[in-house]
Amino acid sequence: MPSSLLLESLDDVAAAVRAGRVVAVLGMKDGRDPSAPAYRIPQMLREHGMKVIPVNPKFGAIDGATCYPNLASVPDAFDTVDVFRHPRFLPGHAEEILALPESRRPRLVWFQLGIRNDEAAARLVAAGISVVQDRCLGVDAARFLAKV
């Protein structure tokens, strides 16, 4: 059990990765640039058995999956939100997550590599949501999960 909901130790990160099965990817890109991290990393998550739900108002579908304009419009439950957005947008996304009914809130919010916002992380942690900052979920999934 982590000592804090702000997950930083390798053991806590590994446990969080292993517990996640359904990931809403906030800011996911389509495959026009297959090397873009916001496209490539969700593909890696799928390869490791995770269900990926695209969230980006710019697209109607990505790889045949419905792409939702925001988290509130996602009809399916998700346990993790993987964030590919500039840090300046994270306080607004934290508010979006906290506005979800408690029964629909994720247990974990993951700020991708290079993305950090301590204010947004603190708000989520105060609400009982675990947060990982500045780490690549795809790399950690490859490290801690077997490929399917």
Is 10-144 in CATH node 3.40.50.720? yes
Identity of the residue numbered 82: D
Q: Sketch the domain layout of the chain as residue ranges.
A: 10-144
Asked if pLDDT for residue 62 goes beyond 80, the answer is: yes
Asked if pLDDT for residue 67 goes beyond 50, the answer is: yes
Residue bearing tokens 């517990």: 19
At residue 147, the pLDDT reads 79
**pTM for this entry:** 0.94
Three-point CA angle 130, 131, 135, nearest 5°: 140
Nearest 5°: phi and psi at 26? -80, 115
pLDDT tens profile 75-119: 999 999 999 999 999 999 999 999 999 999 999 999 999 999 999
Q: Give the burial string for 101-136 (b: 16+ CB within 10 Å, else e).
A: eeeebbebbbbbbebebeebbebbbeeebbbbbebb
Kindly report the number of other CB atoms within 10 A of residue 2's CB atom: 14
Asked if pLDDT for residue 2 goes beyond 80, the answer is: no
Report the share of the chain in percent with pLDDT over 70.
97
Pair of tokens at residue 10: 């390798």
Asked if pLDDT for residue 57 goes beyond 90, the answer is: yes
**Mean of per-residue pLDDT scores for the chain:** 95
At residue 146, the pLDDT reads 83
At residue 1, the pLDDT reads 38
Asked if pLDDT for residue 8 goes beyond 60, the answer is: yes
Number of residues written out for the chain: 148
**CB < 8 Å & 24+ apart, contacts of 86-89:** 86/115, 87/111, 87/115, 87/116, 87/117, 88/117
Asked if pLDDT for residue 40 goes beyond 50, the answer is: yes
Asked if pLDDT for residue 25 goes beyond 70, the answer is: yes
